[in-house]
Every structure is written in C-alpha cells, then in structure tokens.
Amino acid sequence: MLAISLVKGQKVDLTKGNAGLSRIVVGLGWDPAEVEQKGLFGMKKKQVLNVDCDASALMLNANGKLMKEGNLVCFYNLKSPCGSVHHSGDNLTGDGDGDDEQIQIDLSRVPADVDKILMCVNIYECESRRQDFGMIRSAFIRVVNPSNNQELIRFNLTDSYAGMTALLVGEIYRHDGEWKFNALGEGAHAAHINVLATRYT
C-alpha cells in the first residue's frame, strides 16, 4: 500500500480502514538551505546554513486549549504526563536524509479530554540568529505505522515560509470515534515554542 501524499488543507482517515492501528510515529524532517557567499578573491561558494529546528506536539482539548503544562511535548519535555506522546529528542542541525525528529503517539492512551494533537516546528534562537523558515527547504511531516514501518501519509510543505519563525505542520484529531490527520502547513510568528503555546492557553 502506497502512502497517501497530501496537499495543504487535506484531511484523511488514520484509524478508519487501518484496523488495529493504535500506535503511530510522526516523523518531521527538513534541510537547511544553501546560500551563496563570496569567498577569497570574490569566488562564490555555497554554504549550508546551520538552522536548529525543534518539533513539538501540543495536546489540545475540544476547544483547542492546552489544559496542562505537561501536554506540551517538546525538546525540554520529552513525554506527556499520561505517557501517550513521546518525543525522540532534539536534532540540532537537520542534516541527513529521513526524519530529523520523531514523535511517537499511542492513540489508545491519549486521555479523553485531549481532542487533537497539533504538530509544530520552531527555530531555536531564531531572533538572535536572525533566522526564519525561508532558510529551510524540503520540510515534511509523515505518519508511519511502527509495527511494519509502513508510511501511511506524507505531507510535503512546498509554500514559501520566508519571515516565519514557526510552522503549524499538521494535526491528528478525533472524529466520530476515529483518528484523522489534517495537513495544515501554516506559518506563524513565535520566537519560542512557549510563545506559540500561549496562543492555546
């Protein structure tokens, strides 16, 4: 079965049609862009920017509110209090192929008062480093079934996010007793994940 490739704003079923699916891995990836810089004797050379992106998951209620501080799962809080959402840890560069950071979710253990899990990415120290998502390319989010490593869905972010310091990438949400995925791909301004989280308190 091929992964479903999504476009911005598209919603698809996760658990419906995938009998027994209770654990998923959400992989987020990105690559730093290359910029041309003048070297010795005016020679141009390409240099890869060092951009530290951080993936996070916000566990929100039906009103889109973050009810507990621990329901923000990120580089400094790797596990939700209920144990249903677990972060793989911080990747400082985004170099290499594949997922840069992963968030594991046990859907069967997500508390009843959590209606959606919002996946977002911030740039660490974006203000002091004067960095934004115009310096990132090939960003994507994908959902994998860890029992067989099958990629279920993939959403490549192709919009221009120049000037944006946060990305709302996608959300996993409840619908009629099942779980669905919504491809968001929205840019935002937030210097830190805590700043972004305050929008949902």
Residues 157-166: pLDDT tens digits? 989 999 999 9
Q: Give Cα 30 distance to the centre of its chain.
A: 10
pLDDT, mean of residues 56-60: 98
Domains and CATH numbers, the chain: 4-200 (2.60.60.30)
pLDDT digits (tens, 9 = 90+) for 86-141: 999 865 544 556 898 999 999 999 999 999 999 999 988 888 888 889 888 889 99
In the DSSP assignment, the letter for residue 33 is: P
The sheet that has 4-6: what strands, in order across it? Answer: 4-6, 150-156, 136-145, 23-32, 101-106, 85-87
β-strands 11-13, 4-6 pairing? unpaired
Mean pLDDT, the chain, rounded, equals 89
Closest by CA position to 155, among listed 188, 184, 175: 184
What is the pLDDT, as a whole number, of residue 17? 86
